[in-house]
Chains A and B, each alone.
Chain A
Amino acid sequence: MVLVLALGDLHIPHRAADLPPKFKSMLVPGKIQHIICTGNLCIKEVQDYLKTLCPDLHITRGEYDEETRYPETKTLTIGQFKLGLCHGHQVIPWGDLDSLAMLQRQLDVDILVTGHTHQFTAYKHEGGVVINPGSATGAYSSITYDVNPSFVLMDIDGLRVVVYVYELIDGEVKVDKIDFKKTTATTHSAH
């Protein structure tokens, strides 16, 4: 059982002061093995905070990030799954599933995690899964109205991944979960 925290679009300090207190109290150091962050933190303080939760931190560049040297995309293998990470402002039309699927094919990953729309989504298509953890602070978005703060926790176990989404709705944390199963194990590239 490997826990991966996926979150992004915090937009601190430009659009939000801080993570919601209820989220802060849930995110405790030492419980998570990896953190993948879609971008738009935006300042170093946020990176430092995430680092305290888990030292294995992966970040891709959002268009408002103070640190311009984060990569545009990132891929990593966790257990049997290949994960891809990208902020998503590079994929036009923004939030379009088919265009995101193209990126997924390009990165050759089972799970693609992107942000930018501040809207939680989790789609399964024949090529794999596309997840958007939304905005962890519920930051303003030109794309999505009524943004609820949200983040995603993935539990990777063998060929199965359970995606838990935590959403703050009217002051209460609501949890939902979605199951995904891979049909074949990851093979190493033989080219």
Chain B
Amino acid sequence: MLNGTEDEEKWLAEGIAGIQHYAFFMHRALDSNNLREALKYSAQMLSELRTSKLPPHKYYELYMRAFDELKRLELFFKDESKHGVSVVDLYELVQHAGNILPRLYLLCTVGSIYIKSKEAPAKEVLKDLVEMCRGVQHPIRGLFLRSYLAQISRDKLPDIGSEYEGDADTVIDAVEFVLQNFNEMNKLWVRMQHQGPGGVKEKREKERSELQDLVGKNLHVLSQIEGVDLEMYKETVLPRVLEQVVNCKDDLAQYYLMDCIIQVFPDEYHLQTLETLLSACPQLQPTVDVKTVLSQLMDRLSNYAASSADVLPEFLQVEAFSKLSNAIGKVIEAQVDMPAVGAITLYVSLLTFTLRVHPDRLDYVDLVLGACVKKLSNIPELEDRRAMKQVVALLSAPLEKYNDIVTALTLSNYPRVMDHLDIGTNKVMAMVIIQSIMKNYSCISTADKVEVLFELIKGLIKDIDDADVDELDEEDFKEEQNSVARLIHTLYNDEPEEMLKIICIVRKHTMAGGPKRLPFTVSSLVFSALRLVRQLQGLEGDIVGEDVPVTPKKIFQLLTQMIDSLSAVPSPELALRLYLQCAEAANGCDLEHVAYEYFTQAFVLYEEEIADSKAQVTAIHLIIGTLQRMNVFGVENRDTLTHKATGYSARLLKKVDQCRAVYACSHLFWVDDQDGIKDGERVLLCLKRALRIANAAQQMANVARGSGGPVTLFVEILNKYLYFFEKGNGQITSSAIEGLIELINTETHCDSTSPDSISDAFLASTLRYIQFQKQKGSVAGEKFESIKL
């Protein structure tokens, strides 16, 4: 092939050299006003264009050289004073040139001047020229010749307001001329496909596409003729152009020209001729990419609609939507082999169009989705990734447009489209939906919408196939589930009955999620339910619902079931926390038995499931902290639970932790409320027990390391003594406090104890606190006064 290109280069160079050669002599002739010589040499120069050896892009270069020279020639021709021949005679004279191609170039050149001179009507000259050009039937040569004709005639068309308009010459004549030139050029262009050396099809198509703009230019010209108004476009221009497009039966030309029509003519025209334009589509060759053509058209019309609200009524008036959707339906039906991605892309374009032009017509949107569903149903397994991407685009469009998931949820075909997605894509789409909800801070407030939503996102909620869960990256899985957890908080209705329904629906769906998903979803749902309980606390009386009366008790039953399900994971630490939350909520509702049950469950988990020592420390503190706040328990119940809490506190693994948990328990016997328990004795018992443990810890540290452990624990206990002293616990005496301070000092200054700045500072600030209390005056000051430092 390299050889071929080298040859072509050589021929082009030869051709250019030839042109330059003859042009030189032509210029001499022009300078000496020698018409005969000028004609002779110009004809010879133009003969270089008779070559058939060059491919289009090289022929173009040759043509451009000749074109430049012809301009100078035209100037010469125009000036009669130089050569003394009238333009009429000149027109006849040039026809004596030997070969037809040079003859016609010269004729066109003179023709240009002829029209300018107005010695003959423009329409006559133009008609003559366009028909004479038929003499050249070679595709490339003919195309360039006619292109030349189009170029020089451009400013001489008898358009409205042009100087060439007359009684006989009208716009119609201009249009006729251009149409005819266009038709002939298209025929030549199409012929290229079947002519020439038996080369590779791709090569031929490439060469053809290099020439496409020559043909398309005519349409451009038509669009710019002032006199071509909507009427003329509708009655004459479009039908004639389409006739040529359809009849040429060439897929390359058809595709290019349809696209050209759409790009070149104004959108308002397309709207008004929609039917005509669309009816051409089924008539095109089956190999033409009609869907792209339609997509382009719809995209243009979408943009047109977006440009200004004033144009929207026009769309309605011409029934654009139904025409377009019918056309698309026909195309898809006709092209059975159209790949899925093509059909869906079409629907995406149609949907974009619909959302722009008829955003309020949800029924139209639903129709488009429905048509897509129909197409998808005919495909056994949609595996093409690009097609999937297009479906995601289709489903995302309404979300972006309406910024409100609820609107999308009302589209009956929306879930049906999603059903056709494979699991992976379903999850992608589900995340898109959730993100849309988050971004817009949407709130979904009815049970039936929640139902639809959870059906849509079912890929995230449960395993549809066995394959999935293992394959998914852990980070991604977490992200997914956290998104679902967050989603749950956007589901809300302040009507308790409706809210309970919502909770039940979510529970129904999430229960099938399996052990991996439950920890995420159960937590969110539990707190959602607790909020409802809180709300009911504020309301008077029970709310009797249709099926389920909405009472806190009923909700607690639900809560228990939800938390119980965590045992399948298992998630004992989480379950313990949630039971305690419920206990506190039950306390607020005055449900002693329910609260007691929750504590029982929490203790069971503590005893049997929570083995890690650090986890135990936190867990026991949560139990103590919650229990401390309970006011619903009777003495017996309270005692049982307190006893258990203290017992477990004393049995923690490390002495340090034991000590702290035990003195925390002291607060179980003292609640600062009006009716709160204030058992000074048991408080002191706890503190003393803590002290014993601290002592034991100190001994152990001495033995083990040969030096004492931190004295901090003693200072902590001292602070607790002071706390209850201040609150008025009579069992705590100032001498006990003094004794404790002395103990701390002893331990601190003991030889075996290593210096510890932290406990020193702690003691110092504690003593400062005592001093400060002394100086307070009144009752508090007096009390503290008794402490001798």
Contacts and interface: CB of A to CB of B under 8 A. Distances in A.
* A and B: bona fide binding partners: yes
Interface of A: 11-18, 21, 43, 45, 63-64, 68, 89-90, 92-94, 96, 98-99, 101-102, 105-106, 108, 126-127, 139-140, 142-143, 145, 189, 191
Contacts of A96: 672
B489 interface: yes
Contacts of A14: 485, 523-524, 527
Given A15-B489, A15-B524, A92-B624, 5 more contacts: A12-B486, A14-B485, A92-B628, A93-B667, A126-B769
A30 B568 CA distance: 45
Interface in B698-749: 712, 715-716, 719-720, 723, 726
A13 B486 contact: yes
A63 B623 CA distance: 12
Contacts of A43: 478, 482
Contacts of B277: none
Contacts of A191: 755, 757, 760-761
Contacts of A102: 716, 719-720, 723
Nearest to A64: B577
Nearest to B719: A102
B712 A106 contact: yes
11 contacts: A13-B482, A13-B520, A17-B438, A21-B441, A89-B618, A90-B621, A92-B624, A93-B629, A105-B769, A140-B527, A145-B534
Interface in B520-547: 520, 523-524, 527, 530-531, 534
Contacts of B760: 191
Contacts of A94: 625, 628-629
A93 B628 contact: yes
Nearest to B441: A21
Contacts of B766: 105
B interface, size bucket: 35 or more
A181 to B, nearest CB: 17
Nearest to B663: A92
A123 to B, nearest CB: 15
A96 B719 CA distance: 14
B584 A142 contact: yes
B334 interface: no
Contacts of B667: 92-93
A145 B625 CA distance: 17
Given A105-B766, A108-B761, A92 B625 contact: yes
A15 B485 CA distance: 9
B86 to A, nearest CB: 81
B625 A105 contact: no
A63 B723 contact: no
B717 to A, nearest CB: 11
B288 interface: no
A45 B761 contact: no
Contact of B577 (A17, A63, A92, A106): A63
SS of B interface (majority): helix
Nearest to B761: A108
Contact of B664 (A11, A92, A140, A145): A92
Given A14-B523, A15-B527, A145-B534, A189 B757 contact: yes
Contact of B581 (A21, A90, A142, A145): A142
B585 A142 contact: yes
B755 A108 contact: no
A139 B403 CA distance: 26
Interface string B608-647: 0000001000100110111011000000000000000000
Nearest to A104: B765
Contacts of A105: 719, 762, 765-766, 769
Contacts of A18: 438, 441, 486
A18 B438 CA distance: 8
A168 to B, nearest CB: 13
B490 interface: yes
A148 to B, nearest CB: 15
Nearest to B483: A13
Nearest to A94: B625
A63 B621 CA distance: 10
A145 B533 CA distance: 12
Contacts of B625: 89, 92-94
Given A13-B482, A15-B489, A63-B577, A143 B629 contact: yes
A101 B664 CA distance: 15
Contacts of B664: 92
Contact of A45 (B441, B482, B755, B762): B482
B653 interface: no
B271 interface: no
Contacts of B712: 106
B758 interface: yes
B93 interface: no
B772 interface: yes
B752 to A, nearest CB: 18
A175 B82 CA distance: 92
The 4 A-B residue pairs with the shortest CB-CB distance, nearest first, are: A191-B757, A13-B485, A142-B584, A105-B765
Nearest to A16: B489
Nearest to B723: A98
Contacts of B489: 13, 15-17
Contacts of A108: 758, 761-762, 765
A185 B490 CA distance: 49
Interface string B530-571: 110010000000000000000000000000000000000000
B54 interface: no
A5 to B, nearest CB: 23
A92 B672 CA distance: 13
B278 interface: no
Nearest to A102: B719
B248 interface: no
A189 B764 CA distance: 12
Contacts of B221: none
* Centre residue among B489, B585, B664 by max chain A CB count within 10 A: B489
Contacts of A126: 768-769, 772
Contact of B726 (A21, A98, A106): A98
Nearest to B618: A63
A145 B758 CA distance: 37
Contacts of A17: 438, 486-487, 489-490
A166 to B, nearest CB: 19
B531 A140 contact: yes
Nearest to B531: A140
Contacts of B482: 13, 43, 45
A11 B530 CA distance: 14
Nearest to B771: A126
Nearest to B755: A191
Contacts of A64: 577
Contacts of A11: 527
A21 B760 CA distance: 47
A37 B664 CA distance: 25
Nearest to B534: A145
Nearest to B587: A142
